[in-house]
Structure 1
Amino acid sequence: MAKRTAGKPRNTDGINPRQPCPCGSGKRYKACHGSSGGPVELPVARPFEGLAGECELIALREFVPSATAPLTLAKPGERAVTLATVLPMASAALVRADGTAFLGLQVQTRSSDISRDLARALNWALAAEPGAVLAVVGPETDESTERERLQDLVDLAAPLEPTLHTDFGWWMPEGEEPTGEVALSLERANQAIMPTERIGPAAYWVDAGDRAHLRWVRPEPEGALLLALARLAARGELGLGEGSRYAGSFRAHGLLVPVWDLDHESHAREWTDQAADLGKRLEDALASLEDQPLTGEERRARDGLVGRQVTLR
């Protein structure tokens, strides 16, 4: 696979300093890459592009609190690797005494490419001794793997099948009790967890306390997805039924994540069929765009949807 580097804006000549920065940060150009201290290398817009589990990876990194998923390596070895949302004390990776390895997703990044950081942590986990913990991903010292990315180390076509947990008890091997900093970290993590259920591919019901949400990482290009959402909005078909309301969307790692407010009194599984029906309507709307341009009403709906977007790294 060809090595990838973070791209630069196609053309920064004449950019209005008050316009959004081409890197997609959501900041104005003058406060981002137009500043004298702006980073030399821009963040990779879609760090998980090319992976069958791209949408699930984004969900697990950004808003799913407690989940694990087996990782399928491109070159299977003796050591099993499990991908995890959060590890004890927010570690980047660890190897248990029995030799099984865990790779953390919700960690501080050290480069402009999350995929590269994960590859560094994965290479460490495959070589580390049992009982070792990688607190943070440090600079790469092996030039042969310096530019490796997650896409170079895992099976690109393998789907990601996450298992969600109601707490972080899975941090500890069966029969082992946490102690010291791990025990404190476990207690704090359990207190902060928000009930979450997966009701479809990359579609997650989240109990935020005073309300519930559906957060759905979509694989389609943002432009096409916005047009399809606008078409449904103009038809009054953008909701999931009674007790739901389209709230807006956010961008995360190059993909759009639409969000719906849901009736807090309804159980997560009560929205499974409605989410599936909405998915079918979206697919039909996307297909119709090929030969049916937006009407005036649909264009106005699109403008309204664009105004309710934010960007997450």
Structure 2
Amino acid sequence: MAKKSRTKARTQSRPSEVEGEVGPRQPCPCGSGKRYKACHGAAGGAPAPFVGRPFEGLPSECDVVAMRELVPAATAPLTLKDHADRTVQLCTLLPMAAPAMVRDSGEIWLGLQVQHNFGDVSRDLGAVLLKALESDAGIVGLTDPPGEGPRLQDLVAGDRLSVTVHDGFDFWIADVEEGERAALAAALEQANTAASPTARLTTVEAAYWTNVGAKEHLRWVMPEPEGPLLDALARLHAAGRDVLVDGSRFVGMFRAHGLLAPVWDLPVGTGPEPLEDPAERFAADLAEALADTSALTTEQRSARSGLANRQVTLR
């Protein structure tokens, strides 16, 4: 009698995979460095359920994701629902990677690029902001899981953020007296050296050009659900309609905080200005492709498969 196929048995016993779902042996998206099954995928093994799309409902969600994961130096003022008299600045990175700082003026700086690893990034930010509102001055952060409470989108008013991209981190010392700047000089120099030149396009939302020295890229965070967005990108890729400028190439995508960020390689020397009109045209083509609900052709399915294999999960 022939032996039963172990491969078949394993296949049949394996839970069905859902597109975008984190596998048990993959790195946990919370950033802990552990496998998912040993972190937020373990029963009782994580401090809180992992929230895959923590910034959903926050004004300018795509820009917030970009500021947290892709943009070196940027700020955006926040208007609070219950503390309209307080000035709050959302920042990519703060000195010493502080979660928040209350300045001598009373202004609050809230840092996005902080890894608390408590499961819900937006809840962490909300808890830090509430602590900062109660503090007179200095650095504010979390040492323990924040527990239940308001998330950042529960505290912020408005429907859009005004993002300013900076050449470096000189905004750290903009309100510091001349004699006190020396204490931050070393940290500022190190941060500025590591910051790649970056610019936000003006004709479309959440698209950022960057120069990393040997290459230039356009990284564009998009709000659409992953499945329909992959279908639409595959239609355009198969038709050769995803070339922004001569010599550019659509190379793949980041997945961060529940959203996809398509990435283009650009010829060195392109700069952000020549991308404005092509990006606007691509946005129109993408909207048309998203509205197309017909079945993908064989060529488009092949393109989709290739694009799906070129995803890198950041968080």
Q: What TM-score range do you get, normalising by the shorter chain?
A: 0.7 to 0.9
RMSD of aligned residue pairs (Cα, Å): 2.8
Q: Alpha carbons of 1:305 and 1:121: their partners in 2 closer, same or farther (altered >3 Å)? A: same
**8 Å CA contact retained: 2:209, 2:272:** yes
Q: TM-score, normalised by structure 2?
A: 0.85
Q: Which residue of 2 aligns with 1:165?
A: 166
State how many pairs are aligned.
293
Displacement after TM superposition at 1:77 (Å): 3.2
Q: Alpha carbons of 1:127 and 1:140: their partners in 2 closer, same or farther (altered >3 Å)? A: farther
Measured in 1, the distance between the counterparts of 2:106 and 2:299 equals 59
Q: Which residue of 1 aligns with 2:111?
A: 104
Per-residue Cα deviation, 1:129-169 (whole angstroms, up to 9, x for no partner): 0x3212x322267x7xx4221121112x4201111111111
Measured in 1, the distance between the counterparts of 2:24 and 2:115 equals 17
Measured in 1, the distance between the counterparts of 2:167 and 2:40 equals 46
Measured in 1, the distance between the counterparts of 2:100 and 2:176 equals 21
Q: Alpha carbons of 1:98 and 1:304: their partners in 2 closer, same or farther (altered >3 Å)? A: same
Measured in 1, the distance between the counterparts of 2:145 and 2:69 equals 25
Matched, 1:281 2:291: no
Q: Which residue of 1 aligns with 2:300?
A: 298
**8 Å CA contact retained: 1:222, 1:256:** yes
Per-residue Cα deviation, 1:178-218 (whole angstroms, up to 9, x for no partner): 54652221111011110000013100001011010000000
1:252 to 256, 263, 269: 256
**8 Å CA contact retained: 1:56, 1:202:** yes
Displacement after TM superposition at 1:76 (Å): 3.4
Matched, 1:184 2:198: no
Q: TM-score, normalised by structure 1?
A: 0.86
| Paired amino acid for 1:132 | G
Equivalent position SS for 1:57: helix
| Paired amino acid for 2:113 | Q
Equivalent position SS for 2:37: coil
Q: Alpha carbons of 1:306 and 1:89: their partners in 2 closer, same or farther (altered >3 Å)? A: same
Measured in 2, the distance between the counterparts of 1:280 and 1:250 equals 22
Q: Alpha carbons of 1:245 and 1:193: their partners in 2 closer, same or farther (altered >3 Å)? A: same
| Paired amino acid for 2:188 | L
Q: Alpha carbons of 1:160 and 1:25: their partners in 2 closer, same or farther (altered >3 Å)? A: farther
Measured in 1, the distance between the counterparts of 2:217 and 2:73 equals 17
Q: Which residue of 2 aligns with 1:75?
A: 82
Measured in 2, the distance between the counterparts of 1:307 and 1:140 equals 35
Q: Alpha carbons of 1:31 and 1:193: their partners in 2 closer, same or farther (altered >3 Å)? A: closer
Displacement after TM superposition at 1:295 (Å): 1.2
1:213 to 208, 214, 217: 217
Q: Which residue of 2 aligns with 1:3?
A: none
Q: Which residue of 1 aligns with 2:3?
A: none
Moved more, 217-226 or 109-118: 109-118
Equivalent position SS for 1:33: helix
**8 Å CA contact retained: 2:40, 2:50:** no
Q: Which residue of 2 aligns with 1:309?
A: 311
**8 Å CA contact retained: 1:232, 1:282:** yes
Measured in 1, the distance between the counterparts of 2:100 and 2:27 equals 35
Measured in 1, the distance between the counterparts of 2:265 and 2:314 equals 19
